[in-house]
Amino acid sequence: MRLNQYIAACGVCSRREADRLIEAGEVLVNGAPARLGTSLRGDETVTVRGKVVESQQTSVVVAWYKPVGVTCTARDPHADKTVADAFRYPVRLTYAGRLDRDSEGLLLMTNDGNLIDAMMRGSNGHEKEYIVRLRSRISDGELHRLEKGIFLRELGKTTKPCRVERLGDRTFRIVLTQGLNRQIRRMCRALGHEVRTLKRIRIVNIELGALKPGQQRKIEGEELQELYETVMTQDAGKKRK
């Protein structure tokens, strides 16, 4: 097994983040600094940031209401509060997908590295639903432009078509199937609007529901099965292509 795959399987982070940790010299194999592309036989001791990591026996997925002001990062000297500071669970979990510091709402926490990889691969087209409130009124024409796709000059990309529903003069619901950095805020800014509040209320089939900021619930049963069937099937389909 590749080292980055093993670290992800242990629920530490995604494979991409594991590669960054390896490059930064924060991963040791049998006490020696690891290299990108390292393969494991199975009897090695792997240490990440000074802690020995081991494969998880049972996968856990938790829905958590991330409050405003919490940064999705494991370590950031410039962040007032990180996920590691705000989220607590008996088993070590990490986030599958991100929410920016000024946004709130649903964040999936898990120790399943394969699920994390599949969720963070933007090309898989997983639905994510948000409620957005602006500081100024948005017109029907502008909502239609959001649906069709907005060119983001700073990223040099046009957003994919999405679903938008008006909820009020300054409020709308939006369902995305991609995850560009601060995408909704950038889309609104391109139309001359500033986001006042941004809340994610659904990821695939998992809903925020009645959770309050800081609260969590474990995903189990049919709800968990549907999440895996949807996410992993889409991921496998993309890889075959």
In the chain the domains, ranked by start, together with CATH numbers, are: 3-52 (3.10.290.10), 61-122+205-240 (3.30.70.580), 127-203 (3.30.70.1560)
Instruction: Look at 5-9, 86-90, 125-129, 212-216 and tell me which has the smallest mean pLDDT.
Output: 5-9
Name the DSSP class of 19: H
What pLDDT band is residue 240 in, cutting at 50, 70 and 90?
very low
> Is pTM beyond 0.75 here?
yes
Q: Is the pLDDT of residue 124 over 90?
A: no
Specify the pLDDT at position 235. 55
pLDDT of residue 84: 87
Asked which of 45-49, 129-133, 199-203 is least confident by mean pLDDT, the reply is: 45-49
**pLDDT value at 159 more than 70:** yes
Q: Which residues are catalytic?
A: 100
Closest among 40, 51, 61, 47 to 114, alpha carbons compared: 61
Whether residue 87 contacts residue 74, with contact meaning beta carbons closer than 8 Å, is answered with: no
Helices (H), the chain: 3-9, 15-23, 83-86, 113-120, 140-148, 183-190, 221-240
What is the reported pLDDT for 118?
Answer: 87
More confident residue, 58 or 198: 198
pLDDT at residue 73, as a whole number: 80
pLDDT of amino acid 74: 65
Q: Which of 80-94, 148-162, 221-235 has the highest mean pLDDT?
A: 148-162
CA distance 152 to 223: 35
Given a cut of 60, whether residue 78 has pLDDT beyond it is yes
Query: Taking residues 159-169, what's their average pLDDT?
Result: 97
* Residue 52 burial (10 A CB sphere; 0-12, 13-18, 19+): exposed
117: confidence class by pLDDT, cuts 50, 70, 90: confident
Q: Provide the mean pLDDT of the chain.
A: 90
Indicate whether 237 pLDDT > 60.
no
Query: pLDDT digits over 190-218, tens only?
Result: 999 999 999 999 999 999 999 999 999 99
pLDDT higher than 80, residue 67: yes
